[in-house]
Amino acid sequence: MEENLAGDGQLPDERLLRLNRRWSEGGTGLLITGNVMVHAQAMTGPAGVVLDADSPLEPFTRWAKAAKSGGAAVWMQINHPGRQVFAEMPGVAWGPSAIRVDIGKQSKRLAQPVAMTEEEIADTVARFADTARLAEKAGFDGVEIHAADGYLLSQFLSPLSNVRTDRWGGSLDNRARLLLDVVRKVRATVAPQFAVAVKLNSADFQRGGFEVADAQRVIAMLAPLGVDLVELSGGSYESPAMSGRPADGRAP
């Protein structure tokens, strides 16, 4: 989910506070926010929220307080869209490889990505950790690292979007390296009692893509890293299984 309710400066405003206050006071036990982007130059749309080193913390502190007003815990879902950005959006379109999202006749609406450099990969790991640190400082109870639905970490996991031949591509161990590095960095940055979850595709639901057996192996890789919960999703913009429309006809 992405609420698309950011106010000025890509910050949460009263609309997001009111929404989360209502959910919390309705008896919800745990709220997980929609996408909060770790990179202000990488946005899925103009109304997305960003939390990075340049963001003022006070709006996020108010957001956490509103979400917890009825007794709920609240986790921030943190994400980088990678290549799943629209062509008209300013900023960067990064991916593991320079392969555009294929949605048929509408493909040109999505940006043509460039393959990330080692420096950009390292910077992205640091950005996830910075956002997690700031979320904890603002009063959130945990973060959910988004590695599903065709966003950047999911793109690295999928052999359809990751055709690199360096240490970030090829084998599943290599394709999972970015996710594992992000998890390690986040876990080392936040307090032990601060929850760290991962949202992971059960499969891409595309022939030749990330499969159930891959997901099982990645979950086993995550197990010793202090991950508190894995949420399973599926698909991407190319195969929107999360909306019940997988490209290859299999049920999510």
Which of 15-29, 44-58, 101-115, 137-151 comes out lowest in average pLDDT? 101-115
249 CB neighbour count, 10 Å cutoff: 8
User: From CA 90, how far away is CA 69, in angstroms rounded?
Assistant: 36
Q: Are strands 73-79 and 49-50 parallel, antiparallel or unpaired?
A: unpaired
Closest CA to 18 of 57, 77, 70, 58: 70
Work out the burial of residue 140: count CB atoms within 10 Å of its CB; fewer than 13 is exposed, 13-18 middle, 19 or more buried. Answer: buried
Per-residue pLDDT band for 251 (boundaries 50, 70, 90) equals: very low
Which residues have CB under 8 Å from 174's CB, separation 6+? 164, 166, 167, 168
Q: So what's the pLDDT on residue 246? A: 55
Which residues have CB under 8 Å from 56's CB, separation 6+? 9, 11
User: From CA 173, how far away is CA 60, in angstroms rounded?
Assistant: 35
Q: What is the mean pLDDT of residues 67-85?
A: 97
Per-residue pLDDT band for 245 (boundaries 50, 70, 90) equals: low
CATH superfamily of 8-237: Aldolase class I (3.20.20.70)
Average pLDDT along the chain: 93
Q: Decide which of 48 and 203 is more confident.
A: 48
User: From CA 176, how far away is CA 184, in angstroms rounded?
Assistant: 12
The neighbouring-strand residues paired with 114 are: 94
Which residues have CB under 8 Å from 239's CB, separation 6+? 204, 205, 206, 209, 245, 246, 247, 248
Residue 252 has pLDDT above 50, yes or no: no
Which tens digits make up the pLDDT trace of 125-147?
999 999 999 999 999 999 999 99
Residue 85 has pLDDT above 80, yes or no: yes
Q: So what's the pLDDT on residue 238? A: 76
Q: What percent of the chain has pLDDT over 90?
A: 85
Q: Where are the domains of the chain?
A: 8-237
Residue 239 has pLDDT above 80, yes or no: no
Distances in Å between the Cα of 244 and the Cα atoms of 3, 20, 126, 169, 174 are 20, 26, 34, 29, 30
The neighbouring-strand residues paired with 147 are: 200
